Amino acid sequence: MTTLRSSVAILALAALAAAPAAARPASLKHLLSIYADDKEGPLKLPEGVACSDKGALVVADTGNGRLLTYTFLDGKLAGGTPVKLAEATYPVRVQIDGKGNVLVLDGRTRRIVRVDAAGQFAGAVEWKGVSGSSSVAPIAFKLDASDNLYVLDVAARRVLVAELSGKVGREIPLPRDVAEFTDVAVDAGGRIFAVDSVGSRLWMAEKGANAFQAIGTSLKDRVSFPIYLAEDRGKLYLVDQNGNGVALLGADGSFLGRELEMGWSDGKVYYPTQMCVNAEGVAFVADRNNNRVQVFSVSR
């Protein structure tokens, strides 16, 4: 009985990875992998990736304690210039603002710093107007089209909406009965999403709302440990770090399919951490434990 039960569980795990791919054509097709900087220096445990619609690509090359800036236009990758900052020695998350500046979350100091288009440190985000305890411990952040910051602050279990300067305009509390949130995202309509990794569930706050509501159903049987959410034209990509894949969701949290699988060869992933999708329909995945960033075309 025990053997049967565990065998069924094993098959269920296997089906989790295999079945959705069979049910629907893959929407991510591998184009190329980025293994090195402009001097052929290898990437090491890259955790973060951000891209802009103008072709900019920035990688948080976390294990090497640096950023790498590339361009990816018309299917061609160029650049790979390293940027080392004393103010962000362990970059874990990156975003690009409307002016081409890069915002970096440093894992060690838990501060968000700004880097200008020339690769120079341009100051840290200093929080102003935060209610209650003034301490903020960001573990994730995103930018919207107007360059507003959406910051997941685990010190006070809230999402802060702030200007790039750090002036906080809104605070949205996160539900207390949820174990851990690991990411925040915002769509073009101003809806804010939060990822509950433990419950494998998405939470959403409508534009202007001051509370999050759970959306969709728990994705526990679809993903293992989701840690990152990327939005692309009404679709959501949920990066499943421990499950070595990406779940594709509708804006209502509904499960649409699963992409990618565990492996070491090109096109496969090993503990993926973050991703972004640009206007051209190109997705960049930080494939951390494979020491590379992979580039995929997205079928929309």
Partner 1 sequence: MIAHTLILVAALALSANPAKPAKPAKPAGRAAVAPAASSGNAQKLKPGAKGKLCLECHGAFEEQLKMASVHTPVKGGDCTGCHNPHTSDHGKLLGASPNQVCATCHASVVPAAAKSTHKPVAESRCNDCHDPHASAFKFNLKKDGNDLCATCHKGIVDAAASAKHKHHPVQKGCVTCHDPHGSASAPALLKRDVPALCVGCHKMDSAVLTRKHLNYPVKNARCTTCHDPHGSNVKGMFLANVHPPLAKGQCSMCHEPATSKTPFKTRQAGADLCRTCHSQKMAAMLDRNRVHQPVAEGACLACHGPHASKDKGLLKGNAVAVCGACHADTIRRQAVSVTKHQPIGAGECHVCHDPHGGNAPLLLANPNGIELCGQCHDWQKHSTHPIGDKVKDPRNPNLVLQCSSCHRAHGTEYKHMIPFPTTSILCINCHERYKR
Note the residues at the interface with partner 1 (CB under 8 A).
3-4, 6-15, 35-36, 42-45, 47, 90, 92, 107-108, 110, 137, 139, 154-155, 157, 179-180, 182, 197-198, 224-225, 242-243, 262-266, 271, 288-292
The three-state secondary structure class of 35 is coil
191, 204 in Cβ contact below 8 A?
Answer: yes
Q: How far is the CB of 43 from partner 1 (least distance, A)?
A: 6
Listing DSSP states for 212-270 in one string gives -EEES---TTT-S-EEEEEEETTEEEEEETTTTEEEEEETTS-EEEEE--B-SSTT-BS
CA gap 286, 289 in Å, rounded: 9
Q: How far is the CB of 106 from partner 1 (least distance, A)?
A: 9
* Residue placing its CB nearer to partner 1 in the complex, 35 or 121: 35
Q: How far is the CB of 108 from partner 1 (least distance, A)?
A: 5
CA dihedral angle for residue 54, residue 55, residue 56, residue 58, rounded to 10 degrees: 140
252, 241 in Cβ contact below 8 A?
Answer: no
Q: How far is the CB of 154 from partner 1 (least distance, A)?
A: 5
Which residues make beta-bridge pairs with 102?
96, 115
CA gap 214, 144 in Å, rounded: 21
CA gap 179, 196 in Å, rounded: 7
* Residue placing its CB nearer to partner 1 in the complex, 40 or 74: 40
* Residue placing its CB nearer to partner 1 in the complex, 52 or 62: 62
Q: How far is the CB of 232 from partner 1 (least distance, A)?
A: 25
Number of helical (H) and strand (E) elements in the chain, helices listed first? 1, 24
Alpha helices per DSSP H over the chain: 2-23
The three-state secondary structure class of 13 is helix
* Residue placing its CB nearer to partner 1 in the complex, 1 or 118: 1
* Residue placing its CB nearer to partner 1 in the complex, 252 or 264: 264
Q: How far is the CB of 173 from partner 1 (least distance, A)?
A: 14
* Residue placing its CB nearer to partner 1 in the complex, 197 or 278: 197
* Residue placing its CB nearer to partner 1 in the complex, 43 or 164: 43
The three-state secondary structure class of 147 is coil
Q: How far is the CB of 182 from partner 1 (least distance, A)?
A: 7
